[in-house]
Structure 1
Amino acid sequence: MMRAVDLVIFDCDGVLVDSETVTNGILAENLSRHGLALSLSETMATFIGGSMVTVRDKARAMGADLPEDWIEAIYAEIYAALRRGVDVIAGIPALLDALDAAGIPYCVASNGSDEKMDITLGATGLAPRFAGRRYSAHALGVAKPDPELFLIGARAAGVPPERCLVVEDSATGALAARRAGMACLGYVPEGHPDRLSAEGATIIRHMEEVAPLLGLDQSR
């Protein structure tokens, strides 16, 4: 069992909604058109967890010839794909139910935009559960691995960092949690968890593992 938790902060893509494969598939196709050929797995390993500004700058450094309006263009492609459908991560609805039953508040803090969260959380029916508790790097002007995105969520809830738990799927997010002084669960459903564990995250393979770690009853 983990230490007492008074706020759970979720990442969005890859933690609440299964959008990373769709997003990175579009990204890989787009970058190949601009001179940078990467497989889907290479794209995910290279860019997951970063803001789109970081993705642009890293891709350019790797040889991609990206136009000045590239961020707007890639978001348009990604949003169109996400509107065609995205799934909720298995176990998330039951976990949120368990948190609600225990009176533990939660929020979402994402390097993505509010528009992207509108699409993905709306498509999965999760949007009402995070109403008024969404923190976007685009809107706030601060992105992970800067811890401030998490600290803003904690301050809004009136919870000190040491009583917060972050659920992340990227090393960037795990680093932000460590810098914020928050415990972190690293969600790695498959593959090697080394990058997240190196940042101090406790690795989980399924969201069903979270409630027992918090001493919650998830049988309701």
Structure 2
Amino acid sequence: MIIFDCDGVLVDSEILSCETDARLMRTAGHQITTEDIIHRFIGRPKHAIWAELAEERGQPWPSDLLQQADEILLERLRTELKPVRGITDALQKLDLPRAVASSSGVTKLKLSLEVCGLSDFFGPHIYSAEQVARGKPAPDVFLLAASQLGADPGDCLVIEDSAAGVTAARRAGMQALGFTGGRHTWPTHAARLRDAGAIDVITHMELLPGRLADWKRAA
């Protein structure tokens, strides 16, 4: 079974999300850049990111700021979001059971897949961290996806772009393949994924079918 993260793996949304959050945080007087959020928090649930940064700044965010960020991001997704290059062809070639397991909320997750024309590749097997007790780097959302398809965690391969996601996969007893083809990628991105436990890292989705064939032969 193959489990895909969504943001930065299926859809090229990480840069949009991190830009939006950083801009709204700066309006509240917190000096942070898009790159800061990418490097520190990529792959983690949004509410956890905002909560940690509120603690760092020593005061809560304005009551409506997170809602504003969500609304702005959803509109940007509707008008700017693109699928990760090569993912549609890769999914068309995939002959294994598959699911999505994401740190995104349900609304953002479903909208992202619909905008990019990817929903039908996964049917009902689209899972959000909102559906489990703990988000990544905890393994909960990956274990949920595996259980819903009746798969043993040891028979699952996770495709991830974040160290938090790779860590979650490893904690679930799954292998992880890193991906660094999104617009948010930075020079040491692949090394961070390998350090977290990824068995390999690919930079283009055109390489995915071959890597999956290798994984199946080795299983």
The normalised TM-score by structure 1 is 0.88
Give distance in 2, aligned partners of 1:43 and 1:154: 29
Aligned-pair distance for 1:96?
0.8
Instruction: Assess if the C-alpha contact under 8 Å between 1:35 and 1:65 holds in 2.
Output: no
Aligned-pair distance for 1:70?
3.8
2:112 corresponds to 1:106: no
Matched to 2:159, the amino acid is V
Instruction: Assess if the C-alpha contact under 8 Å between 2:132 and 2:140 holds in 1.
Output: no
Give distance in 1, aligned partners of 2:196 and 2:38: 18
After superposition, the CA RMSD in angstroms is 1.6
2:144 corresponds to 1:146: no
2:205 corresponds to 1:213: no
Secondary structure at the counterpart of residue 108 of structure 1:
strand
Equivalent residue, structure 1, for 2:74: 79
Aligned-pair distance for 1:89?
0.4
Give distance in 1, aligned partners of 2:131 and 2:140: 13
Aligned-pair distance for 1:61?
2.8
Aligned-pair distance for 1:33?
0.8
Aligned-pair distance for 1:65?
4.7
Equivalent residue, structure 2, for 1:9: 3
Aligned-pair distance for 1:32?
0.5
What are the ranges of 5 or more consecutive residues in structure 1 without an aligned counterpart?
A: 1-6
| Percent sequence identity over aligned pairs | 34
Instruction: Assess if the C-alpha contact under 8 Å between 2:4 and 2:99 holds in 1.
Output: yes
The structure 1 segments of at least 4 consecutive aligned residues displaced by more than 4 Å after TM superposition are: none
Aligned-pair distance for 1:139?
2.9
Give distance in 2, aligned partners of 1:152 and 1:119: 21
| Aligned positions of 1:43-54 closer than 5 A | 43-54=37-48
Aligned-pair distance for 1:39?
2.1
Please give the per-residue CA displacement for 1:24-71, whole angstroms capped at 9, x wherever unaligned: 111110010112222221221122111122111221133275124443
Equivalent residue, structure 1, for 2:124: 132
The normalised TM-score by structure 2 is 0.88
What are the ranges of 5 or more consecutive residues in structure 2 without an aligned counterpart?
A: 215-219
Matched to 1:120, the amino acid is S
Instruction: Assess if the C-alpha contact under 8 Å between 1:162 and 1:182 holds in 2.
Output: yes
| Aligned positions of 1:139-218 closer than 5 A | 139-189=131-181, 190=185, 191-192=187-188, 193-201=190-198, 202-215=200-213
